[in-house]
Structure 1
Amino acid sequence: MTAFFSHPDRIFASYFIETAFPLEQAAATMAGEQSTGTFLRVPGETDQLREQFAARVESIVEGEHAASPSLPGSGTPKNWDGIRRTATVTLSWPLHNIGPSLPNLLATVAGNLSELQAFSGLRLLDLSLPSAFLDRYQGPQFGVVGTRQFTGVYDRPLIGTIIKPSIGLTADQTAAQVRTLAEAGIDFIKDDELQSDGPLCPFEARTSAVLGVLREIHDRTGRRIMYAANLTGELDQMLRRHDHLVREGGTCLMVSMNSIGLPAMTALRAHSQLVVHGHRNGWGMLGRYPALGMNFVAFQKLWRLAGIDHTHVNGLRNKFCESDDSVIASARACLTPMFPAPNKGCEVMPVFSSGQSARQALETFRALNSTDLIYAAGGGIMGHPGGPVAGVRSLQQAWEAATLDIPLNTYATTHPELAAALELFGN
């Protein structure tokens, strides 16, 4: 949050707003809409009731003026001075309004606000929650530490990839690709979010075949490769699919967070014995437009409490629209404790993906100053001129150079796999 607020019995949320109305009036409209008020005072809305239940405006920090409305449908006040103001506004609510409930928290901090005519822009920026939420929700079961324990990978990122083509392979073809990647030295493999339980590649057949390959490699080499199997579906289906993974010796499941919702994620986490890889597909609808939706900083806090252990943050110079600064801010947020000591921090492992190769490793490490991440590359591994073994090795070498603070071109002079990757993907 722009200014950090904390109280054991209050919920805080900060927003970007854009409005033609006076800022104090606009902020009061927000507070009233999301607590005791409506567009006029109603019987029963006593001063005592407002004192006990109304949201409070904690701070207003004015920003630059907007030249034109960012969103359609906004109104203007009578005798408008012609200025459309922006600000960062922080509101707070007493915890006893909703209790520690994630679905009702979302309704409170992101309910009808974005539809109010007083605003031509409104975006949730950040949240600060009482520790009662951590008492109610389990949060990550494994996170960074547990992921490293499962895989035995320390002091560097997990090198990961995605089954490609995303959809169209049979169970046996998927297992064959996994074998190739596993033999190449990969640490982490995930299904694409489009691949779940179609008739060509049923969930149980696919995951049994893949996990059979990974068990064989573990028995032979001692390496435990993490496979995030996409079990997204109805809640009863997901619980059955989870149990199938456990029987087959799996270590990780993947779920499309926006598809299943917070309550289903909470129920799955309560049942799960596996690492939960939270895929944020659909995030662009919430986060892409800067004057609407919410920041990822706020979004990931909700899902961390619900129980994910990993989540995607894109990557530097990605194929999507997200800036490098936003990517790094998202990754830092995942690794930042949500609650002050001595409470559990709820840190989760950020997953860098989307157009990643050896060329971004040094910049990523310098920007994040951490190796607590999964570095997932598809073409960066499979497209290497030396094949997938050389592709995996090039990424390992790139991160060796990064942690030693050696320029990639310099390190490449004695590491041919890295040299080939830099030539292919650019410096």
Structure 2
Amino acid sequence: MSGMRFTATYLIETPLDVAQVAEVLAGEQSCGTFARVEGETEALRERARATVEKIELLDVAETPSLPNGWMQRRGMFAKPQRWQRARLRVSFPVANVGVNLPTLAATVSGNLFDLGEVTGLRLESVELPAAYRQQFQLPVQGIAGTRKLTGVFDRPLIGTIIKPNVGLSAQESGDLVAKLCAAGVDFIKDDECCGNPDHAPLEQRVRAVMKRVRAHQDRTGKHVMVAFNISDDLDAMRRHADLVQAEGGSCVMASLNWCGYSAIQSLRRHTPLAIHGHRNGFGALSRHPLLGFSYPAWQTLWRLAGVDHMHVHGLQGKFAQDDDEVIEAAQVSLAPLAEGLDDRVLPAFSNGQWAGTVPATWGSVRSNDLLFMSGGGILAHPDGAAAGVASLQQAWDAVQQGETLADRAQRSPELQSALAFFGKK
């Protein structure tokens, strides 16, 4: 790894000289501190320092984006300032980090969000040499493996969500899964808030659900992938993944932000099951435009842990993200992290999705390689869950054939009912 470097791109805001602040940022995350220390030679700094590769000046703000005690103590808020925004590209020696995902994450982010010299800082992207990326975990199933397991090859996967956390027992969860399997879904996932509740212990729920999944597979030959939420401490996640595998399951789900890089890496090494990466909590890291992580940077780090699916939210959905952010999230999930690799992951669309949001999704992504999840769009369809699934399949077939939903609905009653019912809402 000697001589290799990785790069990170940042958006910053500062009233100070941008070039000087860029050097502070680079030094803070490599060999620098506020004063030289004993033994810190020029040769050492040259070997270990991060390098500012590019500075692009952007707009100037009238007011600072974030509070800053360091500047407040220096009276910098008491007089007029130019709050210059800029994009920085900084490279780091791979040898500083090695194959160590938590340290890589700390290097490209770490204390940077606390720098006194900035009133805004956002990590926009991380780029890695192919030889370095290959030393981290790769998806075990990814897009191709997920398609093979579910038997779906020529269209998006249709999925839905069950919420046993609202009070469903293990048996009731199993009964609902049986109904959804019969309705024709390809994928079912737990809600992120349902882990191992008293009313439906995970072990009981896995056994009850997989009994129905196996029975459906025996009858039809179709394996429905179920993403059980096993988010927990690492020992418990390994134990639960083993149970899912022993019961014939193919997927587990984890809340990435709360389990942590090391736990997901260890889970990846432990199990061949598909890991469905849930993004809950990402809004806290991303919603302010001058703070935190952009999705491309965030997903890069998590893909190094070896996940197979990544949540991207949904177009025209119920959450705060605008459609452009959702589209970007899907596009970067479908792109390799380094040249010459196929480490793409399956983008999972969810939240407020139904047949009516299919045209926007297809028009923006132009790919079949996605998981389209619909809760109410399936379970609340006025003609039942099977009609809900059919309406989604009909909508996807229509857009791929260049038809409008209105035209297809004339000969597809399930889609017609969905448009009439959900369209009013």
Alignment TM-score, normalising by the size of structure 2: 0.96
Given that residues 167 and 192 in structure 1 are in contact (C-alpha distance below 8 angstroms), is that contact kept between their aligned partners in structure 2? no
Cross-structure match for 1:265: 264
Answer whether contact 2:10 2:124 (CA < 8 A) is retained. yes
Equivalent pair of 2:164/2:190 in contact (CA under 8 Å): no
Percentage of pairs with the same residue: 46
For the residues of structure 1 that align with 2:372 and 2:82, how far apart are their CA atoms?
46
Distance 2:295 2:407 in 1: 36
| Partner amino acid, structure 1, of 2:364 | A
Secondary structure in 2 matching 1:75: helix
C-alpha deviation, 1:288, in angstroms: 1.2
Matching residue's letter, 2:331: R
User: Does 1:370 find its partner at 2:367?
Assistant: yes
What is the alpha-carbon distance in structure 2 between the residues aligned to residue 373 and residue 383 of structure 1? 22
Q: In 2, Cα distance between the equivalents of 1:12 and 1:78?
A: 34
Given that 1:101 and 1:133 are in contact with CA atoms closer than 8 Å, whether structure 2 keeps it comes out as no
Q: Could you say which residue in structure 2 is the equivalent of 1:198?
A: 197
> Could you tell me which residue of structure 2 aligns to residue 318 of structure 1?
317
Output aligned runs, 1:3-402, within 5 Å: 9-73=4-68, 75=71, 82-164=81-163, 166-341=165-340, 344-402=341-399
**SS at structure 2 position matched to 1:298:** helix
Deviation at 1:197, TM superposition (A): 1.1
Contact 1:8–1:131 (Cα < 8 Å) also in 2? no
Structure 1 pair 53–81 and aligned structure 2 pair: CA distance change class (3 A) = farther
| Structure 2, unaligned runs of 5 or more | none
Q: Is the 8 A contact 2:164 2:173 kept in 1?
A: no
Question: Matched residues in 1 for 2:101 and 2:3: separation?
Answer: 17
Distance 2:71 2:316 in 1: 38
Tell me the CA shift for residue 166 of structure 1. 4.0
Q: CA deviation at 1:95?
A: 0.9
Distance 2:167 2:67 in 1: 41
Partner of 2:413: 416
Give the aligned residue type for 1:18.
Answer: E
Specify the SS of the correspondent of 1:136. Answer: coil
Mark the runs of 5 or more structure 1 residues left unpaired by the alignment. Answer: 1-6
Deviation at 1:386, TM superposition (A): 0.5
How far has the Cα of 1:218 moved from its partner? 0.5
SS at match of 1:218: helix
Letter in 2 for 1:186: V
SS in 1 for 2:34: coil
Length, aligned pairs only: 419
AA in 2 matched with 1:115: D
Following the alignment from structure 2 to structure 1, what is the Cα–Cα distance between the partners of residues 187 and 152? 10
- Cα pair 1:157 1:375 within 8 Å, conserved: yes
Shift of 1:32: 1.1
- Aligned-residue offset at 1:126: 0.2
- AA of the residue aligned to 1:75: M
CA distance in 2, matches of 1:418, 1:243: 40
Query: RMSD over aligned Cα, in angstroms?
Result: 1.6
Look up the SS of the partner of 1:308 in the other structure.
Answer: coil
Q: SS in structure 2 opposite 1:51?
A: helix
Contact 1:204 1:241 in 2 (8 A): yes
Q: Cα deviations across residues 301-335 of structure 1 (Å, max 9, x unaligned)?
A: 11111110001100001111000000000000000
Q: Write the distance in 1 (CA, Å) between the matches of 2:99 and 2:184.
A: 43
CA-CA distance at 1:193 after TM superposition: 1.0
Q: Normalising by the residue count of structure 1, what TM-score does the alignment of the two structures yield?
A: 0.95
> Does structure 2 retain, via aligned residues, the 8 Å contact 1:397–1:418?
yes
Deviations 1:170-189 (A, max 9, x none): 00000111111111111100
The CA deviation at 1:345 is 2.7
d(CA) in 2 for partners of 1:260 and 1:108? 20
For residues 46 and 201 of structure 1, the distance between their equivalents in structure 2, rounded to whole angstroms, comes to 60
Task: Tell me if structure 1 keeps the 8 A contact 2:165–2:197.
Answer: no
Assess, with a 3 A threshold, how the Cα gap between structure 1 residues 406 and 8 changes in structure 2: closer, same or farther: farther
How many angstroms apart in 1 are the aligned matches of 2:40 and 2:62? 38
Secondary structure class of the residue paired with 2:12: strand
Q: Mean Cα displacement is larger for which, 123-132 or 380-389?
A: 123-132
Q: CA deviation at 1:78?
A: 9.1
Amino acid at match of 1:382: L
- 1:405 counterpart letter in structure 2: G
Shift of 1:153: 0.5
* C-alpha contact 2:163 2:194 (8 A) present in aligned 1: no
Q: Which deviations, in whole Å up to 9, do the C-alpha atoms of 1:73-98 show, x marking residues without a partner?
A: 16288998721100110111111111
Superposed displacement of residue 167, structure 1:
3.1
How far residue 40 of structure 1 moved from its aligned partner, in angstroms, is 2.6
